[in-house]
Chains A and B, each alone.
Chain A
Amino acid sequence: MSPLQFCLLLSSLLFCLGLLGALARSNTILVLLGIELMLNAANLNLIAFWRYGPHPAIGTGVIFVLFTIAVAAAEAAVGLAFVIAVHRHRRSVRLQEASQLKG
């Protein structure tokens, strides 16, 4: 197994852990954390391909990861603001009880 394959396996395992958290848990914050884990797994992939790609001197992968981190931070902030707003309306952070966002 080459190091690139090891990195890809690591990132896909991390992605599946995030997927499991996003699918199997009912707490909204845990679902958001699972989505964050999936985004981080994608970043691991980008860095691995940059490191073992044919042109590591061109920093495309690094730049891409920096932008992804910025977008993920924005997503986390908006998502957690939604969690707080829904909790204020419904007194609950369970996803099943927030099936309707109106009101």
Chain B
Amino acid sequence: MTIALLLIALVILGAAAAAMLSRNLIHSALLLVGAWAGIAAFYLWAGAEFVAFAQALVYVGAVSMVVLFAVLLTRQGATSAPVEFASWRRAVLGLVVAGGVMGVLFGSIMGSPLDVRLPAPPTGISVQQLGLLMMGPYAPALLIVGVLLTVALLGAIVIAAVDKPEDTP
């Protein structure tokens, strides 16, 4: 465990907690971009460079833009009213459930014999190996994901589109 991993964890958790507790929706979205960038840094630290750049492209680049557009398109009025919590009861119940899940996970992680010592420092996987895997054994899954993305994005356009039949000539 290195200082870099501690710093990355602090950045991820701090940004995510601030985003989930913030009362300004735009601040939340921008803080989550920070958390996603921290996760990309974690992937870089772990030696999965390709995944890190995919995370940066998809989350920091694309999903954040979609989220910001959704925030701007669904604003109520010109003033940016603070987004309150639903109610105290719901906030407390959410805290209780999240804390309970955290307790269960913490107990099971600390109780598991995970102290494996690696014989050698693990090396990452090269992009060439990844490409061979994707085009070889995982080619059907890659095709299915492509079809899924196409269908999902077409569905998103159909759902979000404005249908005004009187406008058609």
Which residues in B have their C-beta under 8 angstroms from that of A4?
114, 116
A61 and B46 alpha carbons, distance in the complex (Å) = 12
| Interface residues in B, total, Cβ within 8 A | 81
Cβ-defined contact, A62 with B50, below 8 A: yes
Complex CA–CA separation, A44 to B133 (angstroms)? 21
Residues of B within 8 A of A43 (CB): 39, 55
Nearest-CB residue, chain B, relative to A32: B67
**How far in angstroms is the closest Cβ of chain B from A35?**
12
Give the distance in Å from the alpha carbon of A4 to the alpha carbon of B116 in the complex: 8
Instruction: Report which residue of A18, A25, A57, A71 has the largest number of chain B beta carbons within 10 angstroms of its beta carbon.
Output: A25
Bound form: Cα–Cα A11–B97 in Å: 17
Pair B101/A5 contact, Cβ less than 8 Å? no
Interface 0/1 of B101-136, CB less than 8 Å to A: 110011001101011101000111100011001100
Q: Report, as a range, how many residues of chain A touch the other chain.
A: 35 or more
* CA distance in complex: A78, B66 (Å): 10
User: What is the interface of chain B mostly: helix, strand, loop, or mixed?
Assistant: helix
* Consensus secondary structure, chain A interface: helix
Cβ contact within 8 Å between B62 and A2: no
Closest chain B residue to A4 by CB distance? B114
B interface list, Cβ under 8 A from A: 1, 5, 9, 12-13, 16-17, 19-20, 25, 28-29, 32, 35-36, 39, 42-43, 46-48, 50-51, 54-55, 58-59, 62-63, 66-67, 69-71, 73-74, 76, 83-86, 90-91, 93-95, 97-99, 101-102, 105-106, 109-110, 112, 114-116, 118, 122-125, 129-130, 133-134, 138, 141, 145, 148-149, 152-153, 155-157, 159-160, 162
Given A30-B25, A44-B42, A88-B162, 6 additional A-B pairs, CB 8 A = A9-B106, A40-B59, A43-B39, A56-B124, A66-B51, A72-B58
